[in-house]
Amino acid sequence: MAGNREFVNRKLHSLLGVIPVGLFLIVHLTVNHFATRGEEQFTKATGVMEGLPFLIVLELILIFLPLLYHAIYGLYIAFTAKNNVGRMGFFRNWMFLLQRVTGVITLIFLAWHVWETKIAYMMGTVTNFYDMMTNILSSPFMFWFYVIGLISTTFHFSNGLWSFCVSWGITISPRSQRISTYVTMVVFILLTIIGIQDILAFV
């Protein structure tokens, strides 16, 4: 019974990491990318997102609750997993370790990011997202904190996408898993480039 429960939990953890959390990451980076076109375009894009009906309910059901489950169970996996990088050193073992490390970094980054952006906006202490991000990233420490947090997040999602494909039986053969490795690394590079451009747009 315990084994079945863990199997279901891992499946759900993998699924939520891609849908809806991973999809939200892509949407979030896309909306932020409007900052590369200037403050006016960014404000219009964020205005559309903030103007969605039942926004709080949608965010709670589609983002925060799935993210909370993924984060909590992910921490359990990270601190109970037996890493064997030092003993074997194969590529996938390193990816396994990096997935756990970037998961913890991503959680810390997201918690801070939500606190100083979304929570601040809901409390009324911030009314302009563009000015808010400009002020945050004016600090060299926060700039590099965001860069590291972004890279950890995009890697965690991209490598998690590879694990998702294996876990859900999409890539079964060694060849398909090898191709999936290349594809997910391209995803990682593209999302990272977009994210870095987003950050630089506020600097």
CATH number of 2-201: 1.20.1300.10
Give residue 83's pLDDT band: very low, low, confident or very high (50, 70, 90).
low
Query: Does 20 sit behind a cis peptide bond, omega within 30 degrees of 0 on the bond before it?
Result: yes
Domain ranges across the chain: 2-201
How confident is the model at residue 93, as a pLDDT? 86
Q: Is the pTM of this model over 0.75?
A: yes
Residue 102 and residue 148: Cα distance in Å, rounded? Answer: 10
Lowest average pLDDT, out of 50-59, 66-75, 153-162, 176-185, goes to 50-59
137-152 pLDDT, tens digit per residue, is: 999 999 999 999 999 9
Distance CA 114, CA 120 (A): 8
* Mean pLDDT of the chain, nearest integer: 91
Residue 107 has phi, psi (to 5 degrees) of -60, -45
Which has more pLDDT, 199 or 86? Answer: 199
Q: How far apart are CA 17 and CA 15, in angstroms?
A: 5
d(CA 122, CA 144): 26
Whether the pLDDT of residue 182 is over 70: the answer is yes
pLDDT tens digits for range 24-70: 999 999 999 999 999 999 999 999 988 888 888 999 999 999 999 99
At 1, is the pLDDT very low, low, confident or very high (cuts 50, 70, 90)? low
Name residues whose C-beta falls within 8 Å of residue 27's C-beta, 6 or more positions apart in sequence: none
- pLDDT band for position 89 (cuts 50, 70, 90): low
